[in-house]
Amino acid sequence: MKRILPGSILSFNQYGHLKIPKAVKCECPECGKTTAFILKSNYQANKIGLFSQGNCPFCKVTSSFVIMLKENHTGTNEAADVFIYDQRQPLHQIEKQPDIPGDLIRSYRSALKVHQSNDPLATAVMSKRVLESVLKNFLGEDTNGLPLADRFKQLPSHIDLSKPISSLSHLIDRDSTLQQMLDLEHDLDDEMAELLMDLLNGLIEYLYVLPAKLEMTHGRIEEKL
């Protein structure tokens, strides 16, 4: 997820005191061209903010946008923060990780490819293969004979979803250097400031953006069924 800087927000919709970005200029995650996206006004709202979508005028592919409303809204026309969800990222990121099984990377890459070539049947076949690969990766081969839904139910008990969060606690122990940096009692350089931002971006994505995005997709699939 990439933040779109305030200077790249081209226009707004005004709702009472709220200014919601309407057109933004950014790099299309799909084709890489920098262009203007018009955000659709059928926002999906939840407690963090709004979700919207916009099409790239070049490749026509739809990208997702997250608009985070500011909590302490003072009514002073302060604009909300807007982020673009980079759909390419998961593939790029897992490709670099040595512990991700090769069959998962291959099936996920194929799923993206057949989807890009507008082949819904092949997309269904490859999506099933990706789900199977993920389940096999966490549950092992033993459960292969079980229906997909049963294996999915078992998935959370095979993943420690709290570990990425709980392992952060020692970093911000009371006497840690990081804690001192946060309290301005210890200097930090540009690289550390960058790492801090990476930490915030990761946390926000993990805690708010991804769960909300999954929930939204879940809802849209149910509506469609």
Contact positions vs Zn ion (CB under 5 A): 28, 30-31, 56, 58-59
Q: Which is nearer to Zn ion, 30 or 132 (CB)?
A: 30
Q: Which is nearer to Zn ion, 21 or 54 (CB)?
A: 54
Decide if 62 contacts 37 (C-beta within 8 A). Answer: no
Q: Which residues pair with 83 in a beta bridge?
A: 3, 66
CB of 88 to Zn ion, least distance (A): 11
Q: Which is nearer to Zn ion, 56 or 114 (CB)?
A: 56
Decide if 84 contacts 25 (C-beta within 8 A). Answer: no
End-to-end CA distance of the chain: 29
Q: Show Cβ contacts of residue 66 under 8 Å, excluding neighbours closer than 6 positions.
A: 1, 48, 49, 50, 51, 82, 83, 85, 209, 212, 213
- H or E element: which one contains 70? none
Three-class secondary structure assignment of 150-189:
HHHHHHHHHCCCCHHHHCCHHHHCCCCHHHHHHCCCCCCC
Q: Which is nearer to Zn ion, 58 or 206 (CB)?
A: 58
CB of 182 to Zn ion, least distance (A): 39
CB of 117 to Zn ion, least distance (A): 15
Q: Which is nearer to Zn ion, 30 or 103 (CB)?
A: 30
Q: How far is 192 from 200, CA to CA, in rounded Å?
A: 12
Q: Which is nearer to Zn ion, 57 or 219 (CB)?
A: 57
Residue 103 CA, chain-centre distance (Å), reads: 23
CB of 39 to Zn ion, least distance (A): 15
CB of 60 to Zn ion, least distance (A): 7
Residue written as token pair 């149910």: 222
CB of 116 to Zn ion, least distance (A): 11
